[in-house]
Amino acid sequence: MYGLTMAAFLLAVFVNGKICKDPNMVSANDFFFPGLNMPGNTSNPLGSKVTPVNVNQLPGLNTLGISLVRIDYAPYGLNPPHTHPRATEVLVVVEGTLFVGFVTSNPADPNVKNKLFTKTLYPGDIFVFPEGLIHFQFNVGKTNAFVFAGLSSQNPGVITIANAVFGSDPPINLDVLTKAFQVDANVIKYLQAQFK
């Protein structure tokens, strides 16, 4: 119970799943996060690194409805298709050239297809990804890139689509995925193998 006595636990105020800290125990460090000037390590298969600053890293954000991230990209690095179930994201490019986009989801009219919105961004450009919509960023430049992004929740959450669908444990039933994606079972097996 976070080191609280039972009486204190019962009296504690939960906000968004977090206990509000006793005001007498709050310090300047609860509102401080060092290091966003340092690039993240992009030596991974995707060539990107997200450094989050949300309520889990910065307790002073609790109840404020905001958070941010720094995202670093190697040349041709990708922040893969993902969604934030609890936040809209506004991204500003600091260095590099990014191809970004989001796709609408399940339009009310069954005759209308999901629509992809994309843009190539340069330093100083800003792009908004609406809450809950699948989006991505791809470094199309030959140099490193980085951005800062603000999110409209102190705990925006993230669901990376490929990891969730093809990397679950236990795996989603092969019949479910072959029917959902309308591909051969060997394609699904190949994709699942990439996330083991």
| Tens digits of residue pLDDT in 22-54 | 788 889 999 999 999 999 999 999 999 999 999
How much is the pTM? 0.89
User: Which residue type is seen at 119?
Assistant: K
Confidence (pLDDT) at 24: 86
Q: b/e for 33-54, b at 16 or more Cβ within 10 A?
A: eeeeeeebebeeebbbbbbbbb
Higher pLDDT, 34 or 19: 34
Question: How far lies 148's CA from each of 29, 95, 123, in Å?
Answer: 22, 10, 11
Question: Measuring CA to CA, which residue among 75, 69, 53 is closest to residue 145?
Answer: 75
Retrieve residue 87's tokens.
């936040």
Assess contact for 75 and 103: CB atoms under 8 A: no
Confidence (pLDDT) at 3: 53
| % of the chain with per-residue pLDDT over 70 | 91
Question: Measuring CA to CA, which residue among 168, 151, 195, 166 is closest to residue 53?
Answer: 151
| % of the chain with per-residue pLDDT over 90 | 83
Is 131 annotated as belonging to a binding site? no
pLDDT tens digit sequence for 85-135: 999 999 999 999 999 999 999 989 989 999 999 999 999 999 999 999 999
Q: How many residues does the chain have?
A: 196
One-character DSSP codes across 42-73? --STT-EEEEEESTTT-GGGTTT--EEEEEEE
The pLDDT of residue 1 is above 50: no
Is 135 annotated as belonging to a binding site? yes
Question: Measuring CA to CA, which residue among 47, 52, 11 is closest to residue 157?
Answer: 52
Is 89 annotated as belonging to a binding site? yes
Cis amide linkage into residue 110, ω under 30° from 0: no
Confidence (pLDDT) at 167: 96
Confidence (pLDDT) at 6: 57
Mean pLDDT (the chain, rounded) = 92
